[in-house]
Structure 1
Amino acid sequence: MSTQKIFGKYLLEKEIGRGGMGIVYKAYDNELKRTVALKILLQNQKQDVERFRNECVALAKLEHPNIVRFYEYGEKPSLYYTMEYCEGVTLQELIKKQQMRHLFVVDLLIDVCKGIAAVHSKNIVHRDIKPSNIMYTKDNKIKIMDFGLAKRILSDPGNLSKTGDIVGTITYMSPDQIAGKISTRVDIYALGALLYECLTYQELYRGDSPQNILFQILHESPIIPRKINDSISPYLEAICLKCIHKDPQKRYSSCKQLEKELINFKKKRPILAKKYGFRDQVQSFLTRYKLLLSFSLLLIAFVTVSIYYKKNLQRVRRNVIVEDCLKRAEVLIRNDNFKQALEEYNKALIHFPNHVQVKASMLRMKQIQEQKVKAAIAQGNNHLKQQQFVLAIGQYNKGLTYDLNCWLYFGRGKAKFAQQKFLLAIEDFEHAIQLEKHLEFFHYRGVAYRYAEEYQKALADYNHILQKNPNHVPVLIDRSRVYEILKQYTKAYNDTKKALTIYSLKFKKNPSQKRLGENIRILEKRLAKLERNLKKEG
C-alpha cells in the first residue's frame, strides 16, 4: 500500500514496521480524529489469524503506562487492529549508538519490569521481549510493544508452566522456553538478556547459525559482562546473571522482585543477587544514616570503619594488580619480551616492595634471560670465528632483544669492524663501554678510530688503557702506529721499543713460545724502520 491510501476509516500516512505476519502503518482515524498505529494482517493462514487475534485479546486486557494502548479490532477490509501511536526510538536503536549510561539502563529496565509485571498480573507471558519491541518515546517514556507471541497461562503465573511450541526470538529465549515450558520466568530471562545487551552492547549468545546459538543457550555459559566492559558494577552484573540463570528456579521469582532489586541497587541497598560482605554493609549504613554521625561516638566508629575499609579495599586492589602483573609478565617471558616483563614486575613492586612471589619470578626471569643471552653470545662468537659475519650479527641482534648486554654490543662491533663498517663498529663499542668500562672495549674502539682516520680519538682510547696498564703491549704497538701516521716518530719509536723490551723479557723466561719469537722479530724490523725515519728527520 502506498502513502495516503484509504483503509476503511483510516488514512494511511506511512509504513512504520513490517514483519513476517503483518505490517504496521502510521494512520489517521477520520472518525475519532486521532493518529494511531494500524497493524494489518498480511497472511490468512489459520495459525497466523489465531495468533493475530490472540495479540488483540492480550492487548485489550492490558492498561498500563508502559504498555502501548489498544484501541480497536476489525476484520474489514481485512483483519486489523489499532493501537496508540508512539514517536521515539526503539531500544535496539539506542544500543546501536552505544551511548547509554548504566543508571539510564537501570531506570529503563525498572519501567519495563513495571509493564511486564502488569502483563503477568493478567496471567499472560509476553514471550518475545527484545530491544526492537521496547520503544523509548520522545517524552522519555517506555512503551512495550508486539504481543504477537503472548500466551495466557491458566494458573499461578509465577510457578506453573505449560508445554507448548518453540516460538520467540532465539537470542532472548531461555532454555525452558526452548523446551516449550512456558512460565513468567521466561520473560525474566529475556529481561536479563536485554540488560546484558544494554551493558555490553553485545548479544548474550552469538553464532553462525540458529542451531549453534540454541546449543550455547542450553549448554554453555555466556561471557561475564565485566570481562567485556569492566566499568559495569559487579552488583549490576550479578543482577543480570541471576536473570539469565539456566535454572528458572534460580532466577527472580517475578518482575516485581526484579524491579525491587534494581531499585535497591540504584539506592545502594543490599540486593539478593550478591550477598553483601561486611564492607558493603558498612557502606550501605553510612549512606543511609549520615545524619546520625553527628554524635561523636558514631563519628569515631565511622572514621575507624572507613579507615579499615579503605585499607582492605586498597589491599584487595593491590593484590588484583599484582596478580595481573604476574600473569602478563609470564606471557611476555614466554614471548622472550624480558624488558616489558621487567616493567610488569616493577609495577607490582610499587604496590608490594617485598612481595616474595614477584621477587622469585624476577629471579627466575633473570636466569632465563641470562641463559638466552649467553647462548646468543656463544653462537655469535662461533659465527664470528668462522668469519660468518652476517650470521654473527643476527645472533647478537637476537641477544639484544633479550637484554642490553655489553658483550653482545662488543661482539656485533667486532663483526661490523670485520666488514670494514668502522663507524657502525665504533657505535657498538661505545654502547659496550657505556654498560661496562672494560679495557678491551676501549682498545677495539681505538683501533676502529684509527681505521676511520680519527687519530686523536684513537690516541685518547690508547692513553686511557695505558694509564690503567702501562705494559699493555698490543696497545703500545697500536699507539706507535698512530704516532707513525702522524709522523711523530720519536713517540712511535719509544712505544715500539718498550713493547719489544716487554716481549723480550717474556721470551727469555719461556723461549719455547714460537709466536712470541715471531712478534719480537716483527717489532725489531719495525724499530729499525723507525730509526731510519728518525735519522731522516735529524
Structure 2
Amino acid sequence: MDDLTTSTSQSFFIPNNSVVGDYILQEVIGYGGMSVVYRAYHNQLRRTVALKIINKQLQSFQKLAAEARTMAQLDHPNIVRIYDIGTTPYFYFAMEFIKGTTLHEWLRRNNNYSIENLAPILLQLATALEFIHSKNIIHQDIKPSNVLITPNNQLKVMDFGISRVAPRMVPTQKSEFTPVGTPKYMAPEQISGSASYKTDIYGFGATLYEVVCGKPPFQGRSYNVMVDVLTKEPITPSVLNPQVSPEIEAICLKCLQKVPANRYASVKQLIRDIKNAQAHQPILAKKYTKWQASKKFFKRHIVAITSMIAVVFMLLCFCVYLFWQKNRIELYANNIHDLKKEVDLVRDATTQTLKRAFEEYSTLQQSDTFLQPLRKLLLKIPQSDKKYPVIYGMCFGLNSGKYALKKSLQLLQQKIEKDPDDMELFITRGNIYLHNNMVDKAIADFDYVLQKKPQSITAYLNKANALTRKLEYDKAKQLYDKLLKMEPTYAKGYYNRGRWFSIQKKLKEAIKDYKLTTMYNPAYAPAYNNLGYAYMRTRQLDKAVENYTKAISLDKKNWQSLFNRAIVYMQLGNYEKATVDLEAAHAEKPKQSQIHCYLGMVYFNQGTLSKAKKYLQLALENAELPRHLRQRAEKILRHIRNK
C-alpha cells in the first residue's frame, strides 16, 4: 500500500560507488516516492552515514531544507541525528547510520509480549515523541518502519519528511492541512484533514498494535483502509495474540481511540501509564475483560455475517417486488432507473461480501451447508445466471454437479470477455478449475494474472498449490519461497509451504512453517490442526494434543481435529477422552467410515462390546474404509463373535 506522500511519484537510483558531495555511495538501504536512502562513506571524516537524496524533478530544496532543519532541532538519544546538507549534484542530507532491526522483528526474536519486556522500548519511543512535541513539531508518520532498534536495544525514530510545526497556543489545537502519511497508521482526524499532538499518539498505538499482533489495525487498499479507520473498531489485540498482556492491550486501544479527546491527554500521560503498568500499579487506560473482548470480537464478525444475510435478503426482496409488480411498471416509469441502480448496488455489495468471505474463510466455498441457501435463492430468481454471473459462478462452481460447473464456467467466460482487466475473475475461475482437477487450465489462469499483475501474492500461492497437485514439487517449492520473500508475514504462504513439507515427509520444516502461520495469524485453526498432526507423526504426543486442542477451541465443529486428538489419546491409553472426541466428531460427520472404525476399537478396548460391534459393522458397510482399517475391524469382530 502506498504512502499518501509518494503515491504519484517514482523513485530514482544512482549507481553504487558514485560520488555525491564528499560521500561515496555504497548501497541502497531504503527508498520512497521522492527519495532514495544510501549507506555512504565520508572519506575525510571516515564516517559511515545514511545519505538521503531527493529527486530534483519532484522535490524542491526548500522541502529538503525544512526536513533537515526539523531534524537539526531534535538532539535526542532516541532520534536519528543529522550531520550535513548539500545541493550538488543532488539535493541531499547526511544522517546518523543505524545498524538495527525493526520493532516487529525485534519482538519476533524476543517472543515476549509481557509488559516487563515491552515497557523499556515503549518508553524510549514515547520519550522521543515527548521531546519532539516539546519542540512544537508533529511527526505525522509514526509507524514500525520509521522506528529502529539498535543491537544494544536503543530505539531510534527517523523520517521527518512530512512532519510539521504545531500551533503554539494549545497542545491539542488543530490546524487544517492536506492529509499526508501512511493510511494504515493515520489517525481519523489526519484523514479528515487536520492534526495535533494526539495524532502522533494514535500513530504510537497503531505501531504498538502491529508489533504485538503482526499486522496493522486495518489492512487493504488505501481508500478502504481510510474508510475503516473512520468507521470501524480494530480487532482486540488479545484475540489475535493471546500472549498480549492486559496492560499493553489497554494502553494500545486507548491510543487508538477515534475521538482525540478519548486518547491520552499528552505523551507525558502515556509515559506515566507505561511506567505504572511496568510497576504493576493502576493505569488510566481501561483493561478489557475476557467477556468484553469476546463481545467486541463477536460484534465485529456478526456485522459481516448479518450484512451478507441482509444483502441477500434485500436482493430477494427486490426481485420478488419486481416480479409481482410487473403489471404496474408503467405507473412507476420515472422510478425504474433509480430502482435498477439500487438493484445493481445490492448485486455489487453481495458479490464483494461473498468474495471477502471466501478470502477470509476459504472452506466456505467448499461448504454445501453454507452455499445451499444461496443456490436455492438464485434458482428461484428468473435468469439469475445472466443477472448475477459472478455470484452464480462462485456458488455453483464448486461441489454442485457437472451441469452447474459447465454453466458457471460459461458465465465467468462471458464476464471475462466483457471485463478482461478484472484479475479476480481469472483467480475465481482458476480456483474452480483447480477444485475440479483441471489443473493445467487453473495454472493458465494464474499465469495470466501474474503476467498482468506480477506482484499478486494470491496468484503465486494458487499456482504453487496447483503445481503441488500436479506433483511438480520443485516448481511449487520455488513459488512458495518466492511469495514468502515478497511478503514475509503472509500466514497462508507459510501454511501451504508447510503442507508441501508434510507431503515430502520433511516434518521438522513443516513444523517451523506451521508455527510461523500461527504467529502471523493466531486464529487460523487449520494451521494448529496440521501442526498437531506433524507432532503426532514425530511422536511428540503432548504437543500434538496441545495444538489439536487449540484448533478445536477456534472451531468447535472441527471434526478432523477432534478425530486426530482422539487417535493421540488412544496412543496415550486414555480411552475415555478418546471416546468423547470420537463421539463429538461422529456428531459432525455421522457417515465417516474411519470414525465408525475407531469408535468400534475404542469401545472394544473399554469392554463395551455391543457398541463396538455396532460401529465396526457400520464401518465395514462403507466401501471407502481403508484396507488396513478394514482388516483390523474384521479381526476385532471375529474376536467378539467367538466370545
User: TM class by shorter-chain length?
Assistant: 0.5 to 0.7
- Name the residue aligned to 2:31: 18
CA distance in 1, matches of 2:273, 2:156: 21
CA distance in 2, matches of 1:395, 1:170: 50
Listed one character per residue, the Cα deviations across residues 22-43 of structure 1 (whole Å, up to 9, x for unaligned) are 1222333345554332211124
Q: Is the 8 Å Cα contact of residues 396 and 408 (structure 1) preserved in structure 2?
A: no
Q: From the superposition, tell whether residues 228 and 75 of structure 1 become closer, same or farther in structure 2 (CA, over 3 Å).
A: same
Q: Is the 8 Å Cα contact of residues 27 and 38 (structure 1) preserved in structure 2?
A: yes
Q: CA deviation at 1:250?
A: 0.8
Residues 213-222 or 122-131, more deviating? 213-222
Listed one character per residue, the Cα deviations across residues 352-395 of structure 1 (whole Å, up to 9, x for unaligned) are xxxxxxxxxx9xxxxx99xx9xxx9xxxxxxxxxxxxxx9x999
Q: How do 1:258-273 residues align onto structure 2 when only pairs under 5 Å count?
A: 258-273=270-285
Q: CA deviation at 1:164?
A: 1.3
- Structure 2 SS opposite 1:143: strand
- Name the residue aligned to 1:197: 210
- Name the residue aligned to 2:225: 213
- Name the residue aligned to 1:161: 174
Residues 396-405 or 92-101, more deviating? 396-405
| Correspondence for 1:67 among 79, 82, 95 | 79
- Name the residue aligned to 2:544: none
Q: Which amino acid aligns with 2:265?
A: S
- Name the residue aligned to 1:233: 245
Larger radius of gyration: 1
CA distance in 1, matches of 2:597, 2:97: 71
- Name the residue aligned to 2:101: 89
Q: CA deviation at 1:227?
A: 1.2
Q: Is the 8 Å Cα contact of residues 339 and 402 (structure 1) preserved in structure 2?
A: no
Identical positions, percent:
34
- Structure 1 SS opposite 2:172: coil
Q: CA deviation at 1:3?
A: 3.2
- Structure 1 SS opposite 2:84: strand
- Name the residue aligned to 2:266: 254
Q: Is the 8 Å Cα contact of residues 66 and 115 (structure 1) preserved in structure 2?
A: yes
Q: Is the 8 Å Cα contact of residues 16 and 26 (structure 2) preserved in structure 1?
A: yes
- Name the residue aligned to 2:15: 2
Q: CA RMSD in A?
A: 4.4
CA distance in 2, matches of 1:150, 1:340: 55
- Name the residue aligned to 2:159: 146
- Structure 2 SS opposite 1:28: strand
Q: From the superposition, tell whether residues 268 and 406 of structure 1 become closer, same or farther in structure 2 (CA, over 3 Å).
A: same
Q: Is the 8 Å Cα contact of residues 38 and 80 (structure 1) preserved in structure 2?
A: yes
Does residue 1:39 correspond to 2:16, yes or no?
A: no
Q: Which amino acid aligns with 2:247?
A: Y
CA distance in 1, matches of 2:631, 2:152: 78
TM-score with structure 2 setting the length: 0.46
Residues 146-155 or 35-44, more deviating? 35-44
| Correspondence for 2:189 among 144, 163, 176 | 176
- Structure 2 SS opposite 1:213: helix
Q: CA deviation at 1:400?
A: 6.5
CA distance in 2, matches of 1:72, 1:413: 82
Q: From the superposition, tell whether residues 216 and 95 of structure 1 become closer, same or farther in structure 2 (CA, over 3 Å).
A: farther
| Correspondence for 1:130 among 143, 147, 164 | 143
Q: CA deviation at 1:53?
A: 2.8
Q: From the superposition, tell whether residues 426 and 159 of structure 1 become closer, same or farther in structure 2 (CA, over 3 Å).
A: closer
Listed one character per residue, the Cα deviations across residues 245-275 of structure 1 (whole Å, up to 9, x for unaligned) are 1111111111121112111111111110137
Q: From the superposition, tell whether residues 121 and 3 of structure 1 become closer, same or farther in structure 2 (CA, over 3 Å).
A: same
- Name the residue aligned to 1:321: none
- Name the residue aligned to 1:383: none
Q: Which amino acid aligns with 1:223?
A: I
- Name the residue aligned to 1:281: none
Q: Is the 8 Å Cα contact of residues 250 and 287 (structure 2) preserved in structure 1?
A: no
TM-score with structure 1 setting the length: 0.54
- Name the residue aligned to 1:475: none
- Name the residue aligned to 1:110: 123
- Name the residue aligned to 1:346: none
Query: Structure 1, unaligned stretches of length 5 or more?
Result: 278-323, 342-361, 363-367, 377-390, 432-444, 450-460, 462-538
Question: Which aligned runs of 4 or more in structure 1 are off by greater than 6 angstroms?
Answer: 327-330, 337-341, 393-405, 412-417, 421-426
Query: Structure 2, unaligned stretches of length 5 or more?
Result: 1-13, 290-548, 567-579, 622-629
Q: Which amino acid aligns with 1:162?
A: S
Q: Which amino acid aligns with 2:158?
A: M
CA distance in 1, matches of 2:558, 2:42: 73
Q: Matched residue pairs, number?
A: 341
Listed one character per residue, the Cα deviations across residues 80-105 of structure 1 (whole Å, up to 9, x for unaligned) are 22222222223354356573554333
Q: Is the 8 Å Cα contact of residues 189 and 244 (structure 1) preserved in structure 2?
A: yes
Q: Which amino acid aligns with 2:117?
A: F
Q: CA deviation at 1:332?
A: 5.2
